[in-house]
Structure 1
Amino acid sequence: MSTGQPQPPDPLPGARLLFSLDPAVAHLNHGSYGSVPISVQRAQQRLRDETEANPQRFFTRGLVDRISHSRRHLATFLGAAPDSTALIGNATTGTAIVLQSLGLQRGDEIVCTDQGYGAVRLAVERECGRTGAVSRTLPLPLRATDTEIVEIVRAGLRPGRTKLLIVDQITSPTARLLPVTAIAATAREHGVAVLVDAAHAPGMLSMPVDAIGADFWVGNLHKWAYAPRGTAVLVVAPAWGERIEPLVVSWEQESGFPLNAEWQATLDYTSWLAAPVGLHTLRTLGVDRVRTHNAALAAYGQRVVGEALGLSPADLPDPGGPEVAMRIIPLPAGLATTVADATALRLHIADALATEVAVNAWGGRGWLRLSGQVYNRADEYDRLAHRLPALLATLT
């Protein structure tokens, strides 16, 4: 009988067999590196074999067209215009392309939030150091409502000075779905360009990219869309297309965006060409079915682990939307309060409990982040709940 608390969903039959994960380990951190289905691994290996069988033919006979075909397939799935979308290596690469293309000058500013991804913050700091621009961080309370978040952003923009606002669609350290459509509309009112870091969105969320109204949108497909690692997209509003400067100049430079951002000579393009096979796997399982399953399983994991740590439902942050397949749990005070300590705890849990999780330091405390994926089972979260409190007790 349901208690009103999150319950585990029915497993998807045969889903675990689609992956080559070590069965001796509980893989509860799909959000960091994903897991590539066996069918996608094999498709990519066939492409690698094709490359090595005749490199000259592979790179010089129709490869640009094959990349464009794959891009059209992926962009259509995401609800983005193919001609406004470029395939790139990862979301951080897309962020670097955007930052380089802005033409920042001394006195300009970039605004981020304190729930943003660490590598993005480092990219912003580097670009500011090069150009004389400055960066500013907006604190977002963990339990702020969507309305409150939009108002914080509105108050934090400085028209005429703020050149770019960077906001996550789903935050990495806190697994929070942010109201990016409303935020983008607010930024437009102030004449501020918006970059949405949607590293976790492709495959997890159903919202079409074009419906957001952002100037720039970057997303990884290796996490929730079952693509090989090294597959991501940069979506650019038409008004910005001619201003995009790729990080590396290639023979496609004069072709303009998106080809000039995609083509990098002897790059390994097999991950991009195999990515549609990942979408085929997702569609075969049922896109909505997978989304519902994964979100429910993450919610269940948050509940049972939280209860084991003596937390009440009110102590467990809500992700802000029904499709979010990651949840966070506050760790005991004093644990994992720095990046180094969070990394050390993650490794300790992996070694001692044979369980892969994410541990982040944010807001002065440590947070355990759990993901839900079709290869996971409820008993993996139950085992973590049973064993984690004793392990943490040895550290406090």
Structure 2
Amino acid sequence: MSDAASLPPEPIPGARLFFSLDPAVTHLNHGSFGTVPVTVQRAQQRLRDETETNPQRFYTVGLTDRIAHARRYLATFLGADPEGTALVGNATAGAAVVLQSLGLESGDEVLSTDHGYGAVAFAVERECRRTGAVPRTVPVPLASSDEEIVEIIRTGLRPGRTKLLIVDQITSPTARLFPVEAIVAVAREFGVPVFVDAAHAPGMLPVEVDRIGADFWVGNLHKWAYAPRGTAVLVVAPRWRARIEPLVVSWEQPTGFPLNVEYQATLDYSGWLAAPVGIFTLRNLGVDRVRAHNAALAAYGQRVVGAALGLGPADLLDPGGPTVSMRLLPLPDGVAATFPDALALRQRVAETLNADIFVTPWNDRGWLRLSAQVYNRAEEYDRLAESLPGLLAA
């Protein structure tokens, strides 16, 4: 590796001023909860103030039009059909809407990989218990190539039985970019509908949802697109839209998708209506510049922390793609190999090192996932590299 390749990216001037994070804490887990820029916080607060000034007017005069306007803006940014896009609370809520709308029956099967998000797996298990369907998981080795991933999934499909395939665009526990467009094409050969869990994609990746061609696609905007928390989009292919049922029935039920999914009476809609300001903020910083910066900084963090943990180049997996802003590191054997131990280590690092990190068990081993965002600096990863080995050895 050349000296230039091992250097961190230059910070984006003034980017840290967009955020109100506690400067005493090192925030290296943007992927879990995101961070709302000050501009978006203020826009959302203005909407809350407007609501409380005259609640009746806010909820009864033009609200659904305002929701539709926000939806159109967000869908256009993602390359999705606004008429097939619904705003939802988060990716897991979108998954629940899809699962309950499928009409699963006894003997049907829902296929996932072992890189899936835990709460989505719970949603699958619940719907299968309710309907008599069967959840099934195929293992995908961490170092698999795109071609190998596609072939593993092809082999796992069971035409006639597999009623839904769930794949992640960027996996949460392993920070791996999956070749979802190729996977969708294979599933289409077998007549199997595909749900793409793209919780991390909006803002991080240059997404064109309609080009992917999935039957269902869901993405959070609060992680990498600077929206308020509780903002996600569910995109549904035309042939499924009439079958989509909301989790909660409202007065917009006769209207059909997407408004019947979005509207829930006195829900706080301020986050959805302020979400376009997050996209504006991202564009103001420079979308491509932000993506390149974050990916390069995450790779730098992986290198320096990995070296401190005694890991070699073969242990530093590249998740694939030049804009993936998360990187994975294996922890020493026996460290954080269970969920309670992983949570305990996160808390210990937070209390001892004033650093927020993401630690999770996967395939009986503990893993550290590092995120990078424009408010981060190389020295934050350097400090973690200096202090983490001693903390793990203590």
TM-score by length of 1: 0.99
CA distance in 1 between partners of 2:300 and 2:358 (Å) = 16
Tell me the secondary structure at the aligned position of residue 7 of structure 2: coil
Q: Which amino acid aligns with 2:171?
A: T
Tell me the secondary structure at the aligned position of residue 6 of structure 2: coil
CA distance in 1 between partners of 2:287 and 2:123 (Å) = 33
Q: Check conservation: 1:316, 1:328, Cα contact below 8 A.
A: yes
Q: Check conservation: 1:167, 1:196, Cα contact below 8 A.
A: yes
CA distance in 1 between partners of 2:359 and 2:379 (Å) = 20
Name the structure 1 match of 2:208. Answer: 208
Name the structure 2 match of 1:225. Answer: 225
Name the structure 2 match of 1:18. Answer: 18
1:314 CA displacement: 1.0
Q: Which amino acid aligns with 2:199?
A: A
Matched, 1:348 2:335: no
Name the structure 2 match of 1:385. Answer: 385
| CA deviation vs aligned residue, 1:299-345 (integer Å, no higher than 9, x gap) | 00000000000111111111021110000111000000011111111
Question: Unaligned 5+ residue runs, structure 2?
Answer: none
| CA deviation vs aligned residue, 1:149-188 (integer Å, no higher than 9, x gap) | 0000000000001000000000000000000000000000
Query: Could you tell me the percent identity over the aligned residues?
Result: 74
Matches within 5 A, 1:1-396: 2-3=2-3, 5-394=5-394
Q: Which amino acid aligns with 1:126?
A: R
CA distance in 2 between partners of 1:284 and 1:256 (Å) = 35
1:2 CA displacement: 4.0
Q: Check conservation: 1:6, 1:296, Cα contact below 8 A.
A: no
| CA deviation vs aligned residue, 1:270-325 (integer Å, no higher than 9, x gap) | 00000000001000000000000000000000000000001111111110211100
Q: Check conservation: 1:218, 1:232, Cα contact below 8 A.
A: yes
Question: Unaligned 5+ residue runs, structure 1?
Answer: none
Tell me the secondary structure at the aligned position of residue 366 of structure 1: strand
| CA deviation vs aligned residue, 1:206-255 (integer Å, no higher than 9, x gap) | 03111111000000000000000000000000010000011011111111
CA distance in 2 between partners of 1:207 and 1:228 (Å) = 20
CA distance in 2 between partners of 1:130 and 1:344 (Å) = 34
1:7 CA displacement: 2.2
CA distance in 1 between partners of 2:6 and 2:295 (Å) = 10
- Root-mean-square deviation (CA, aligned residues, Å) is 0.9
CA distance in 2 between partners of 1:4 and 1:236 (Å) = 44
Tell me the secondary structure at the aligned position of residue 36 of structure 1: coil
CA distance in 2 between partners of 1:56 and 1:252 (Å) = 17
Q: Check conservation: 1:225, 1:279, Cα contact below 8 A.
A: yes
Count of aligned pairs between the two proteins: 394
Structure 1 pair 309/5, CA: closer, same or farther in 2 (3 Å)?
A: farther
CA distance in 2 between partners of 1:111 and 1:350 (Å) = 36
CA distance in 2 between partners of 1:4 and 1:77 (Å) = 33
Tell me the secondary structure at the aligned position of residue 22 of structure 1: coil
CA distance in 2 between partners of 1:2 and 1:109 (Å) = 49
1:45 CA displacement: 0.3
Q: Which contiguous aligned blocks of 4+ residues in structure 1 show a shift greater than 2 angstroms? A: 1-7
CA distance in 2 between partners of 1:141 and 1:258 (Å) = 37
Q: Which amino acid aligns with 2:236?
A: V
Q: Check conservation: 1:80, 1:209, Cα contact below 8 A.
A: yes
Tell me the secondary structure at the aligned position of residue 3 of structure 2: coil
